Amino acid sequence: MSTPNIAVKRRHMRRGNMRVLVHIALFAVLGIALIVTGVIGNSKLAKATDSYSDTARLKVYKDKASGLEPRLSALFEEFEVSKNSIKNKVMNNKRKSVNEALDADIASGLPDEDALLKAIATYTDRAFDVISSDSDEATGTKLKQKVAGAQLQLIQELTAEARASAESITSKDVRGTMNARNTQHYVIIYYGTAILIIGIACLLLAGVLCALWFTKDSEGRARVGQAIEPFDYLLPFLVGVGVFTLYPMIRVLIMSFQENYKLTGNNLGTATGWGLGNYNFILNGMGKTQFMRALRNTALFVLFTVPITAAIAIVVAHLLNRKSKLNSLFQTAYFMPMVTTATAVGLVWRWMFNTQNGLINALINFFTQFFGAPNNINWLQSGAADHAISMAVLIIYGVWSSLPFTIILLLSGLQNIDDSLYTVAKVDGSKPARIFFRITVPLLSPTIGLVLIINSISAFKVYTDVFVLWNGSPQDYQMETVAWYIFNNIQTADGTHSLGIAAAAAMVLFVIIFVFTMLQKFLQRKWVYQ
């Protein structure tokens, strides 16, 4: 850039310097903040894991079948006088307070062995009292000696068991039981490590910028500032794209290979392994009938809607392509369906195709009444009985809603054709039909090709149409589509989110769209006029 003015050049340099400084400061602050947050998150996770581990160990100690109590009872057994006297007078008596003491001790950090010693002492003292009163003190002393001899081994066994049980709980498991609803600060705890890493990265960036600052002179610094400027502008955009477009692309691909990947109630993605299980499910296994039906419906929809729409749109665009005062009126009429909410309009069509009171049946009856008693056609409920009728409704609606967009594209394509060509043809005396087929259509063919591709891509993704026409349950009428299948698996009725299956279905859909588009592009090289 040419900046002849020295003052301007200096201003630019100052700006560049400022920029670097600001970035260093920002990254440093952000980095430190993120590191602190990450550390807090991880420490909270550690605390939670500790408390889980405490609970696990306590569970082992308090276990009525294999914990402290039964083992002590085994020791006390030989001193039993009357049946169950020790059980009743000692165990049942002291159990509550012993358990409470154990809870308090372990929570306060007392080593397990000491806490267990205390518990054993409580039980033993009570047993001593009971036996002394039942038999005599000598027996009681014998009991105490026996316990004293055996308690160390007892404690060792118990603590070993408890440790094993606690070790089986990893912080990953603990993290998995949390979800946004039951845990405060869920986000920092769950992503603690990730946040920490990002924080460190920010600090590193700040460090790099700092190094650059100190190793370069004023001009060099300005240049560094200039180099980092584009990324400031790009950052909001790239963050959005990264998180909500790029990451999902990769994640879904991976997810499709994770078998039984479900989003449980705790929002943990659990999977039982890697493999082609999901694909097998939808192509070969239990999901086969529904998925194949969805594929069939979607394919039929594309194969009928796209060509019909294109054909009608070409004619309409050609008719609209004239200078006429009524043009804006017609344009308003033809383009109206484009802006409207699909759900609202779908409901109108559902009403019009209503079997008992619908307009369509009324119109049909009007014409057929001359030839015989009228018969109401069951448009939307034919289901398996007469699939063609339901498909016809969907196709009519599909054509109606994709016509406006197609007409717009074709109209703008038509307007790009040079008028002089028409004039020349008319001067030569060609009939309108000939002009249309020999001049208009070939010159329009690139736009037609584009329209076919765009429309078929959208047609493959048809979802809202079937949802609204069949009141959310197209599967009851065998009218599900692939997109519907995907969505249905994301949010199944019973609350399990079979994301793995949805991912596999989505990958299949993507591949089909991709292959179909490539095929069209290849074929279009033959008939599209270049």
Partner 1 sequence: MRKPDMKTIIYLALLLAGLLIMIFAYPFSMPVGSYASTYQKIAKIHGEDLTLFEAMQALDSAEAKMTEWNVNSTSDEGAKLLGIAANASSADAGAYKTRLVVFCAGLVIFVAAVVLLKKTTYLLLTLGAIFMVFPFYWMISSSFKTAPEMNRFPPNMLPESWTNFSNYTEAWHTAPFGKYFFNSIFVCVCSVAVVMFTTVLAAFAFSRLRFPGRNLLFTLLLSMMMVPFELLVITNYQTITRLGMRDTLAALILPFTSSIFYTYILRNFFDSVPDSLYYSSQVDGAGNWQYLWKVMVPIASPSLVTIILLNAMASWNSFMWPQLVISRDEVRTLPWALVTFTTEVGIKYELIMAGATMVVMPMLLLFLFARKQIVRGVARGGIKG
Restricting to residues 19-58, name those near partner 1 by CB under 8 A. Answer: none
Residues in contact with 151: Cβ distance below 8 Å, sequence separation at least 6, in sequence order: 117, 120
Of the pair 33, 241, the CB lying nearest partner 1 is at 241
Q: Phi and psi dihedrals of 326, rounded to 5?
A: -80, 0
Q: Using CA atoms, how far apart are residues 1 and 157, in angstroms rounded to an integer?
A: 80
Of the pair 8, 211, the CB lying nearest partner 1 is at 8
State which of residues 73, 122, 177, 365 lies at the interface with partner 1 (CB under 8 A).
365
Single out the residue of 241, 348, 287, 300 nearest to residue 504, CA to CA: 287
> According to the binding rule CB under 8 A, does residue 230 interact with partner 1?
yes
Single out the residue of 101, 160, 370, 354 nearest to residue 362, CA to CA: 354
Task: Give the tokens for residue 447.
Answer: 């736009």
Q: Using CA atoms, how far apart are residues 358 and 352, in angstroms rounded to an integer?
A: 4
State which of residues 467, 470, 477, 478 lies at the interface with partner 1 (CB under 8 A).
467
Residues in contact with 301: Cβ distance below 8 Å, sequence separation at least 6, in sequence order: 391, 394, 395, 398, 459, 462, 481
Of the pair 27, 190, the CB lying nearest partner 1 is at 190
> According to the binding rule CB under 8 A, does residue 400 interact with partner 1?
yes
State which of residues 33, 274, 311, 366 lies at the interface with partner 1 (CB under 8 A).
366
Q: How far is the CB of 216 from partner 1 (least distance, A)?
A: 18
Site string for partner 1, 234-263 (x = CB under 8 A): x-xxxxxx-xxxxxxx-xx--x-------x
Q: How far is the CB of 452 from partner 1 (least distance, A)?
A: 12
Within positions 171 to 200, which residues make up the interface with partner 1, using CB under 8 A? 179-181, 186-187, 190
Task: With residue 262 as reference, give the H or E element that holds it.
Answer: strand 262-263
Within positions 328 to 347, which residues make up the interface with partner 1, using CB under 8 A? 328, 330-345, 347
> According to the binding rule CB under 8 A, does residue 490 interact with partner 1?
yes
State which of residues 267, 381, 430, 475 lies at the interface with partner 1 (CB under 8 A).
267
Single out the residue of 466, 463, 464, 453 nearest to residue 513, CA to CA: 453
Q: How far is the CB of 187 from partner 1 (least distance, A)?
A: 6
Within positions 500 to 519, which residues make up the interface with partner 1, using CB under 8 A? 502-503, 506-507, 509-510, 513-514
Q: How far is the CB of 357 from partner 1 (least distance, A)?
A: 5
Q: Using CA atoms, how far apart are residues 253 and 500, in angstroms rounded to an integer?
A: 10
> Which stretch in 69-77, 192-200, 210-218, 365-373 sits in contact with partner 1 by CB under 8 A?
365-373
Phi-psi region of 471 (alpha: psi -120 to 50; beta: other; left: phi over 0): left
> According to the binding rule CB under 8 A, does residue 320 interact with partner 1?
yes
> According to the binding rule CB under 8 A, does residue 436 interact with partner 1?
no
State which of residues 31, 67, 277, 404 lies at the interface with partner 1 (CB under 8 A).
404
State which of residues 109, 372, 429, 495 lies at the interface with partner 1 (CB under 8 A).
372
Q: Are 41 and 195 in contact (CB under 8 A)?
A: yes
Q: How far is the CB of 515 from partner 1 (least distance, A)?
A: 12
> According to the binding rule CB under 8 A, does residue 370 interact with partner 1?
yes
> According to the binding rule CB under 8 A, does residue 211 interact with partner 1?
no
Residues in contact with 57: Cβ distance below 8 Å, sequence separation at least 6, in sequence order: 106, 112, 162, 163, 165, 166
3-class SS at 182?
A: coil
Residues in the chain: 530
Which residue reads 């065998």 in tokens? 478
Q: How far is the CB of 104 from partner 1 (least distance, A)?
A: 34
Strands 258-259 and 273-274 turn out to be antiparallel
Of the pair 114, 232, the CB lying nearest partner 1 is at 232
Within positions 296 to 315, which residues make up the interface with partner 1, using CB under 8 A? 312, 315
Task: Give the tokens for residue 323.
Answer: 């200078």
Of the pair 147, 320, the CB lying nearest partner 1 is at 320
DSSP, res 440:
I
Q: How far is the CB of 123 from partner 1 (least distance, A)?
A: 46
Burial class of residue 499 in the structure, from the number of CB atoms within 10 Å of its CB (0-12 exposed, 13-18 middle, 19+ buried): buried
Q: Are 499 and 259 in contact (CB under 8 A)?
A: no
